[in-house]
A and B are shown apart, each in its own frame.
Chain A
């Protein structure tokens, strides 16, 4: 066996490699910023973390965006994007309320299932159009963003689902905690763990990365790109549907503005968490931390006393910083790889 390896095994010791990897890891960097935000805000106002409301809100508020960001990440990894998730969330949230109005006494798990299924169906429409229509996902999902919102508007009109329309057991889920951890957050974490494990270990998950890295190569290699992209959109839709049910439980009221603009937050969370917008890299863990950071910053800024008008600018700066960081890292990585290649050719 005298085949020369394309890349030599790393000469640095395993410990150094792990430490270096950790230091370079986007997840750790974003996580550190998150911790910093929480610590600074807590110093300014201890209630932010140490009151029972504060601790609960810290975990509970991001649970919605967490679900959306996980779904969005799976789609972005395949070099697509789903802009319709906010509309899907709103539509399923209203559907959830309507189910309770029209069928009082329906078990709560059935409603969760129905909402998720409805989201999956709407995601299937997106996925089918993108996978078979060969039209960029940006355009397709921008279209369905408006279509789904339009359906929602004509269905709901000026009507609104009120807290009184939904059973109190369901509404209690919105703030129920197990060992001080809110149930809705646990749902988010379970989804996160399942999707993260699949993407990291399963063949299907790795193929999603391959498709996003180089779609043409993935086709030539014989990967089932259509099915994979289709299922990514179905998963994203299903999670947006689940988020819709969670929305109804959390806010206890659904009007036709529900979920408006959430799609950009979901993309923002993924990007901040290190998911490359051109596909092929990033993890759901990063996106999850990104979602926590985005939501927590939004909650922390008013507590710290920064005026409303600056709050959005801070979020924008965060997104740009994340992209610039990405660019710097990838440029450095490229230089390193080129240097390694040149050295190999010389020898």
Chain B
């Protein structure tokens, strides 16, 4: 169920509030009493992505709905049309008034949502953030898609596998001052040194997340390093541009390319053989895990303290880390066999 405009959402909120009140009379929405799995704790969860109509979040909501089917809860997706910092506030207020059991949010802003989320919490709503966090004190749990170490390691492992763990590689990054990119690159260097002594990182170039610049830098890499075996591009614009250049180049098939990308932008290049495999987290799993975490909070199995553990269906057992962060795990690897299962 998607609610798009204000007036409609007000109407729907009324209708929902009414139905909530009715169900509250007849059924057991106080999930705390019967803990554990099973049909008892049918948590009513509101899912609030950054914006609606975004394939990435459509995938995460589908994952959450799958989880809800498994534990017998219900998911309502609401959200603004555009991802602006305070557009999510009215939706949080509405959810609090409806008295839903839990709220799963991908925050457009770490600060702007805090007041509304605090109010919801004090009304008894469990708050789980996913994909992008708020300040830690404003929510119970944060489902983190990946850590910098995990991303760096998966990139290095992928390229090592594709070039036979030996030879020259280069990195095509975004801007030279992009904090996350630089952190990843530094960790990749450490990982290469520690576990892949035969791979030599010969160059790191910056495509500025611009198609033309990324094209030019890819071409320059290929021309100035004739022995280059592979390129890692841990940025979605960079990997797409490099793949496009490589797919029409004489180096296609001789130089491996991997990095972080989305299945829709990389599909053609995986199918034509330019790219063997690349990584990103799976937003479906992210939504799935967030829903199970919300359910565990509602059931009272966990309170969001460090060291709490809970079961998340097919994904297995998860442990809450410091600051109430739950890590999804290693990035997901997309290749020719699985890429058609995804649409984001």
Residue positions of A touching B, CB distance < 8 A: 45, 47-48, 51-54, 57, 61, 64, 154, 157-160, 162-164, 174-175, 247, 251-253, 255, 257-258, 260-261, 298-299, 302-303, 305, 308-309
Contact B224 A53 (CB under 8 A): no
CB distance from A216 to the nearest CB of B (A): 40
In the complex, the chain A residue whose C-beta lies closest to that of B55 is A159
Our pick among A51, A163, A309 for the contact of B250 (Cβ within 8 Å) is: A51
Q: Which of A53, A247, A257 has the most CB of B within 10 A?
A: A53
CB distance from B25 to the nearest CB of A (A): 41
Our pick among A157, A257, A298 for the contact of B82 (Cβ within 8 Å) is: A157
Bound complex: CA of A303 vs CA of B223, how far in Å?
Answer: 7
Contact B224 A305 (CB under 8 A): yes
Q: In residues 31-54 of chain B, which contact A (Cβ within 8 Å)?
A: 51, 53-54
Q: Which residues of B contact A305 (CB under 8 A)?
A: 224
In the complex, the chain A residue whose C-beta lies closest to that of B249 is A53
Bound complex: CA of A234 vs CA of B250, how far in Å?
Answer: 40
Flag whether B219 is at the interface (Cβ < 8 A).
yes
Q: In residues 93-133 of chain B, which contact A (Cβ within 8 Å)?
A: none
CB distance from A124 to the nearest CB of B (A): 27
* Known pairs A53-B251, A174-B248, A253-B211 / 7 extra A-B pairs, C-beta < 8 Å: A51-B250, A57-B219, A158-B56, A164-B264, A252-B240, A302-B205, A302-B224
Flag whether B278 is at the interface (Cβ < 8 A).
no
Q: Could you name 14 residue pairs across A and B whose Cβ atoms are closer than 8 Å?
A: A45-B223, A47-B223, A53-B251, A54-B223, A57-B219, A157-B54, A157-B82, A162-B267, A164-B268, A174-B248, A253-B240, A299-B220, A303-B224, A308-B206
Bound complex: CA of A158 vs CA of B211, how far in Å?
Answer: 16
Q: Which of B55, B206, B210 has the most CB of A within 10 A?
A: B210
Task: Given A253-B265, A257-B210, check contact A163 B82 (CB 8 Å).
Answer: no
Bound complex: CA of A53 vs CA of B176, how far in Å?
Answer: 27
Task: Given A253-B265, A305-B224, check contact A163 B219 (CB 8 Å).
Answer: no
Contact B223 A253 (CB under 8 A): no
Flag whether B237 is at the interface (Cβ < 8 A).
yes
Closest 9 CB pairs of A and B: A302-B220, A175-B248, A47-B223, A163-B268, A251-B211, A162-B265, A252-B244, A303-B220, A162-B264
Flag whether B156 is at the interface (Cβ < 8 A).
no
Contact A158 B54 (CB under 8 A): yes
CB distance from B264 to the nearest CB of A (A): 5
Flag whether B226 is at the interface (Cβ < 8 A).
yes
In the complex, the chain B residue whose C-beta lies closest to that of A300 is B220
In the complex, the chain B residue whose C-beta lies closest to that of A305 is B224
Contact A53 B222 (CB under 8 A): yes
CB distance from B87 to the nearest CB of A (A): 12
CB distance from A145 to the nearest CB of B (A): 17
Flag whether B241 is at the interface (Cβ < 8 A).
yes
Q: Which residues of B contact A48 (CB under 8 A)?
A: 223
Q: Which residues of A contact B265 (CB under 8 A)?
A: 160, 162-163, 253
CB distance from A320 to the nearest CB of B (A): 22
Task: Given A260-B210, A303-B224, check contact A52 B248 (CB 8 Å).
Answer: no
In the complex, the chain B residue whose C-beta lies closest to that of A54 is B223
Q: Which residues of A contact B217 (CB under 8 A)?
A: 302
Bound complex: CA of A227 vs CA of B267, how far in Å?
Answer: 48
Bound complex: CA of A53 vs CA of B246, how far in Å?
Answer: 10
Flag whether B292 is at the interface (Cβ < 8 A).
no
Flag whether B215 is at the interface (Cβ < 8 A).
yes
Bound complex: CA of A45 vs CA of B220, how far in Å?
Answer: 10
Bound complex: CA of A201 vs CA of B11, how far in Å?
Answer: 67
Contact A45 B176 (CB under 8 A): no
Q: Which of A162, A298, A305 has the most CB of B within 10 A?
A: A162
Q: Which residues of A contact B176 (CB under 8 A)?
A: 308-309
Bound complex: CA of A111 vs CA of B112, how far in Å?
Answer: 43
Q: Which residues of B contact A157 (CB under 8 A)?
A: 51, 53-54, 82-83
Bound complex: CA of A10 vs CA of B306, how far in Å?
Answer: 91
Bound complex: CA of A255 vs CA of B211, how far in Å?
Answer: 10
Q: Which of A48, A159, A258, A299 has the most CB of B within 10 A?
A: A299
Q: Which of B205, B222, B223, B269 has the most CB of A within 10 A?
A: B223
Flag whether B216 is at the interface (Cβ < 8 A).
yes
CB distance from B244 to the nearest CB of A (A): 5
Interface digits, B52-73 against A, CB 8 Å rule (1 contact, 0 not)? 0111100000000000000000
Q: Which of B54, B205, B224 has the most CB of A within 10 A?
A: B224
Bound complex: CA of A20 vs CA of B199, how far in Å?
Answer: 58
Contact B220 A257 (CB under 8 A): no
Q: Which residues of B contact A52 (CB under 8 A)?
A: 250
Q: Which residues of B contact A309 (CB under 8 A)?
A: 176
In the complex, the chain A residue whose C-beta lies closest to that of B271 is A164
